[in-house]
Structure 1
């Protein structure tokens, strides 16, 4: 940092432009009071000294502003990288979501098929019970018919046997 001789010490890099302008005003008043008691080493007129001091301050401010711009550009670059990473994560998550939705649809379809199969199974089980009941009834009818046939055979044998005697 370049500072003219006899100028106040430079402000810290954390001060804002309002502080710089206030310091400029303070320094000008100090320069005027210093002009009242002229030093033998001061060879420049007060206006030139004040103008040089202002130029030095502006150069210092320009350097500080340039550093701030560089820092901001670095921050913008870093934030752009973060945004790009988030975009990539979002795209990856979208792919995972699509895959999971397809899997969910497959599971739902399989569940619907199982429900349909379950309904078909229940219908077939009910039909099977009906048929088993029908078979049981038919067997009972067959037994009854066989008993009746056996009785008729015995009666017929008895009739034929009575005539044969």
Structure 2
């Protein structure tokens, strides 16, 4: 604040025709306390401030030369500002890189999951078709088994019929033989009956003649 007042007084004194205002070279008593209470920060260090000069007795040339000397003084390099997040920059970058990789991997994983779901759906459809085919084949196999069993039963019946047929033929032949024997015995019985009748007639004649 004191420097601003000094610069204002200095510039007003340099105006043509302007009266030289009284300038005091002694700073207020409370200014050192303010300056001493101000602490330098990490961003920049406090630059040395020029002391107040009584410009009342100086000419324009002296003031301009002094101002030129002040402006030609090389500025002190400013200290680079240290960020409080400087220790976290590498960790933050690494975390961001990990997050980006995770996001990319999530996208690729989504695509892979969709592909796997499609493949799973195709596999399920194929399994259903296979199960249906197996069910049809099982029914056909059961039908074939039933047909084979029926054929075996028919064959057994056929063999039984053949054996029965043979037995029937044997019985028929026996019956024919018995009928032939019966006919012979009938003929013999008729002959014997005639002979008996003849002997009866002859016997009755003998009895009647005697």
TM-score (norm 1): 0.57
Residues 66-121 of structure 1 deviation map (CA, whole Å, 9 limit, x = unaligned): 44433322111111111111111110100110011111111111121122222222
Question: Which of 144, 163, 166 lines up with 1:114 in the alignment?
Answer: 144
Q: Tell me, in whole angstroms, the C-alpha distance in 1 between the residues paired with 2:179 and 2:166.
A: 19
SS of aligned partner of 1:134: helix
Q: Which residue of 2 aligns with 1:146?
A: 176
Q: Which residue of 2 aligns with 1:10?
A: none
Q: Which residue of 2 aligns with 1:88?
A: 118
Q: Give the deviation of 1:59 after TM superposition.
A: 6.5
Q: 1:138 to 1:42 in 2, by over 3 A?
A: farther
SS of aligned partner of 1:49: coil
Q: Is 1:43 matched up with 2:73?
A: no
Question: Which of 99, 104, 111 lines up with 2:134 in the alignment?
Answer: 104
Q: Tell me, in whole angstroms, the C-alpha distance in 2 between the residues paired with 1:146 and 1:123.
A: 34
Residues 43-81 of structure 1 deviation map (CA, whole Å, 9 limit, x = unaligned): 224xx6223xx4667677666554443332211111111
Q: 1:59 to 1:119 in 2, by over 3 A?
A: same
For structure 2, the residue ranges without an aligned partner over 5 or more in a row are 1-41, 46-73, 195-210
Q: 1:156 to 1:139 in 2, by over 3 A?
A: same
For structure 1, the residue ranges without an aligned partner over 5 or more in a row are 1-31
Q: 1:134 to 1:94 in 2, by over 3 A?
A: same
RCO comparison, higher one (Cα < 8 Å, 6+): 1
Q: 1:42 to 1:125 in 2, by over 3 A?
A: farther
Q: Tell me, in whole angstroms, the C-alpha distance in 2 between the residues paired with 1:130 and 1:41.
A: 132
SS of aligned partner of 2:81: helix
Q: Give the deviation of 1:42 after TM superposition.
A: 6.2
Q: Which residue of 1 aligns with 2:11?
A: none
How many residues matched? Answer: 122
